[in-house]
Chain A
Amino acid sequence: MEKKDLELILNSLPTLTWNSLKLNSTVFKDSIDLNGRGECIIHNIPSGVIIGSEGCDGCERGRDAVEAISGAQPRLKPSLFKEMKTGMGPEAKNFFNKYCHETLSIRAMCTASADKPLKINYLPGNEDGYVVKQNITAEAGSNLTVIMDYSGRPEDSGFFGIQTQIFAAEDSVVNIIKLELLGRNYTHFENIGGVVGDNARVNVIQMILGGGKSYVGLNMELSGYRSSFEGNVGYLCLNDQKLDMNYYMGHSGRRSTSSLRVEGALRDSASKTFRGTIDLKHGAKGACGDEQEGTLLLSKDVRNKTLPVILCDEDDVEGTHGASIGRLSAELLFYMQSRGISEKEAELLMTKAKINTVRSLIKDESSIGKVQHYMEEAFG
């Protein structure tokens, strides 16, 4: 059993602010056992979707996939996945390149349609250290839905890192649904990158419920005309869980749109950091970006940090952000109590309601069941 001593700078902001806030980036320092144990089960492969799997140097496979469609997208370089930026930043990407145990290359042909989602289950067990990469290529006009879940027993410990890179060619639609239901003592890296072409859409739904320490980053480059990204993130942090998030939506395509909604709750001594950046680059005329965050605070020892950034280098654009952070409002509590619902029950109800706003976007029954089961277990 060989442990790796890691010191990585993760989730760096694209622009810096006061260092005293400790929000510019996160330093990850830990000794982790990357033993390669863990299991990946793929099922429900839709027609028109090709999956390749290989060992450590998976990025080469991703390159092949892009080369195969390079005729359709001559603007894109063959080394797209290699050069693609990811939300957790370059040090995280190097980590994945160096320690990856398995890479999946998922390629949706133009005949692929979303009527049947591709399902991938990662099963990191107790004391496993498992690092995987996925390179997803959606060819022009294709439609792909991928549901991934990473489940473990609540008492499990270990490390699970997953990097998902997405290239959505013109007119394609990519739906990614990620359920993170790892054990309470798991450390989790979730590193997402994407490039979205003309009229293409990438939708990401994330339910971040498990894990002891979760580091999540997303970098979506909206480079195509009318390209769009929609992100919906639901999270629940209990006990001493730590969640560190960094989302970046870069608009360079004209009339590109992005929307990010992050809803969740913190209880006990949990802490969460959310960084969200809308970057409206020069030339992205008609682009719109929106971020909305709602955080419910349920215990006196919780800690919430939020930094929503809008960078604007173009006038014919619109960037908006809204955040609401706090406990249940007195009015709402009074309303509930006047109907016989106790404060505790009201908190539970509203927490579930927050999570459910994101969960309700998932159309897969078994995934919904897993989230529900997890919530019931968590709240006893």
Chain B
Amino acid sequence: MEKERTEVDELDRSIYDFRYEEKDFYRVREGLTEEIVLEISKEKNDPEWMRKKRLEALKIYNELKVPDWGPDISGLNIDDIVTYVRPNTAMKGSWDEVPEDIKNTFERLGIPQAERKSLAGVGAQYDSELVYHNVKDEVSELGVVYTDMESALTGEYEQMVRDHFMKLVPPTDHKFAALHGAVWSGGSFVYVPPGVRVDIPLQSYFRLNAAGAGQFEHTLIIVSEGAELHFIEGCSAPKYNVANLHAGCVELYVGKNAKLRYSTIENWSKNMYNLNTKRAICEEGGIIEWISGSFGSHVSYLYPSSILKGDDSHAEFTGITFAGSGQNLDTGAKMVHIGKRTSSFINTKSISKAGGISTYRSSVIITEGAVDSKASVSCASLMLDDISRSDTVPAMDIRTDRADVGHEAKIGRISDDAVFYLMSRGIPEEDAKAMIVSGFADPVSKELPLEYAVEMNNLIQLEMKGAIG
């Protein structure tokens, strides 16, 4: 006899799925050519070194092949993608100055409200450029720099940007890193001086409004020795019938004894190819914490990686992926241990339903010099019906004896035993099932700031029906 299943609703995307018409926006033509790359570079007033870097990246892009592993991306044709769309406004420091349609978009997404309530600074990107950027005075007075990448590129931090830009994620890393190097635009630059602790988070929100466009923002964060920062990244887009592309790049430099928490709630629409690259490098005693919620996109390739270069550095990745109908989300993390006594911890959860495909993919590499290092990987996948799919592909490469690596993985449906256990203690069946599913996602939601935990719980609308036999 078939077992009844716990029903979990699809994510409610109505709050994201709205759009405004483009009015007088500047856009390059579709495709990727040297001419287009030079046009973007000219429009953005790149310094000469950046123009050269873009052209080098384009050359690399043309030489590299698309990945032969992972989800199918044959539906993505770069010749159909518009790589640069600039809204008809310059970046503003006040929401009142932002054009009405764009302001309305971010208000419906709750960004200005969040800024007033709980953030130290906000950057809001609309298509290819930032339209709003602001940081609280008390944070600026500490010497914290939070600005758009374009300003950083030509201002007093140009050398710092030049020293770090695409050094952690070189264009040779993979084809879409090269694409990013060629056509990147927008994104944020953050510099936290030594010893400065930013107690409340900074946030960047990326909204892709244009149909058939790509978003290629670059986020560069440098947290100096002994400093601390929590950075939040959010993203969404309305759904179109044509493919959209997100190939952003995040480079995080965590200094000696510094700490950075990078939280992401990814909510792209289901026509989005999310081919994002995120990487952090930690110096001695540095700590990087990734919190990641992947709910949107048609196809995702997302594996934040941590390079534990300094002795005693530490990385944690906590992530949840929800793959629903029409989604193929390939997510996970990479850890590279180089320094002595480094440690890493990966804890992921994934839920597949309505034909969604969720793949957990990771790698842990303990290099020869990373003596006395420890790594732990835990991944759990919940299957909510028999038309969905869930795979785990965790790799470990250990090159020294002085290491301890542990791994555990589990795939299955809601455990009958767990429901029975809770029911035997007087909890009604429906409540027991609700507790198990929310408990499954709990390790991630409890790590998010309250507002985002609420958002995530709203995203996973649980509706229990029938019994689990």
Contact = CB atoms under 8 A, between A and B. Distances in A.
A16 B396 CA distance: 15
Contact of A307 (B395, B403, B408): B395
Nearest to B410: A320
Nearest to A321: B409
A310 B404 CA distance: 22
Interface of B: 3, 5, 68-70, 361, 363, 368, 371, 381, 383-386, 388-413
Contacts, number: 139
B407 A308 contact: yes
Contacts of B404: 325-327, 329
Task: State the main secondary structure of chain B at its contact with A.
Answer: strand
A327 B395 contact: no
26 contacts: A15-B391, A15-B393, A17-B363, A21-B395, A285-B386, A298-B401, A300-B400, A305-B395, A305-B396, A306-B395, A307-B395, A307-B396, A310-B391, A312-B389, A314-B383, A315-B386, A316-B3, A317-B412, A318-B410, A319-B411, A320-B409, A320-B410, A323-B405, A323-B408, A326-B403, A327-B401
A318 B411 CA distance: 6
Q: Which range holds the interface residue count of chain A?
A: 35 or more
A318 B389 CA distance: 13
Shortest 6 CB-CB distances between A and B: which pairs? A16-B69, A297-B401, A326-B404, A315-B383, A323-B407, A318-B412
Contacts of B368: 300
B403 A309 contact: no
Contacts of B396: 304-307, 323, 325
B402 A300 contact: yes
Interface string A1-44: 00000000000000111110101100000000000000000000
B78 to A, nearest CB: 22
A23 B371 CA distance: 23
Nearest to A16: B69
Nearest to B412: A318
A327 B363 contact: no
Contact of A316 (B386, B388, B391): B386
Interface centre among B388, B395, B402 (most CB of A within 10 A): B395
Given A17-B361, A307-B396, A308-B394, A315 B405 contact: no
Given A316-B3, A316-B413, A309 B402 contact: no
Contacts of A324: 405-407
Contacts of B399: 302-304
A17 B398 contact: no
Contacts of A302: 399-401
A340 interface: no
A23 B412 CA distance: 26
Nearest to A347: B401
Give the interface centre of B5, B68, B400, B411 by most chain A CB atoms within 10 Å: B411
A23 B394 CA distance: 11
Contacts of A280: 411
Contact of B389 (A313, A319, A321, A326): A313
A315 B7 CA distance: 13
A315 B393 contact: no
Interface in A316-347: 316-327, 329
A324 B407 CA distance: 7
A302 B368 CA distance: 9
Given A312-B411, A316-B413, A323 B400 contact: no
A98 B153 CA distance: 63
B362 to A, nearest CB: 9
B390 A312 contact: yes
Given A17-B69, A19-B68, A305-B396, A315 B410 contact: no
B385 A315 contact: yes
B386 A321 contact: no
A292 B405 CA distance: 13
Contacts of A299: 401
A51 interface: no
Given A321-B392, A323-B408, 16 more contacts: A16-B69, A21-B363, A21-B395, A297-B401, A298-B401, A299-B401, A300-B368, A303-B397, A304-B398, A305-B396, A307-B394, A316-B3, A317-B412, A325-B396, A326-B404, A327-B404
B7 to A, nearest CB: 13
A329 B411 CA distance: 29
Contacts of A318: 410-412
A295 to B, nearest CB: 8
Given A317-B412, A320-B410, A309 B401 contact: no
Contacts of A327: 401-404
A326 B405 contact: yes
Contacts of B394: 307-308
A119 interface: no
Nearest to A285: B386
A311 interface: yes
B395 A23 contact: yes
A153 interface: no
A63 interface: no
A312 B381 contact: yes
Contacts of B386: 282, 285, 314-316
A321 B401 CA distance: 22
B392 A310 contact: yes
B69 A24 contact: yes
Interface string A201-216: 0000000000000000
Most chain A beta-carbon contacts within 10 A, residue among B381, B384, B392, B403: B392
**Centre residue among A19, A318, A323, A326 by max chain B CB count within 10 A:** A326
Interface in A51-72: none
A57 B281 CA distance: 57
A17 B393 contact: yes
Contacts of B395: 17-18, 21, 23, 305-307
A307 B413 CA distance: 23
A17 B395 CA distance: 9
Given A18-B363, A318-B411, A319-B412, A312 B383 contact: yes
Given A299-B401, A309-B391, A322 B407 contact: yes
Interface in A92-112: none
Interface string A334-376: 0000000000000000000000000000000000000000000
For B5, B405, B412, the residue with the greatest tally of chain A CB atoms inside 10 Å of its CB is: B412
A96 to B, nearest CB: 28
Nearest to B361: A17
A316 B384 CA distance: 9
Given A312-B390, A319-B412, A325 B385 contact: no
Contacts of B383: 312, 314-315, 317
B277 to A, nearest CB: 13
Contacts of B390: 312
A316 B361 CA distance: 22
Given A18-B69, A18-B363, A307-B396, A315 B388 contact: yes
A290 to B, nearest CB: 10
A277 to B, nearest CB: 9
A20 to B, nearest CB: 9
Contacts of A329: 404
A287 to B, nearest CB: 10
Contacts of B69: 15-19, 24
A300 B412 contact: no
Contacts of A317: 383, 411-413
A316 B388 CA distance: 11
A180 B401 CA distance: 25
Interface in A244-301: 266, 280, 282, 285, 297-300
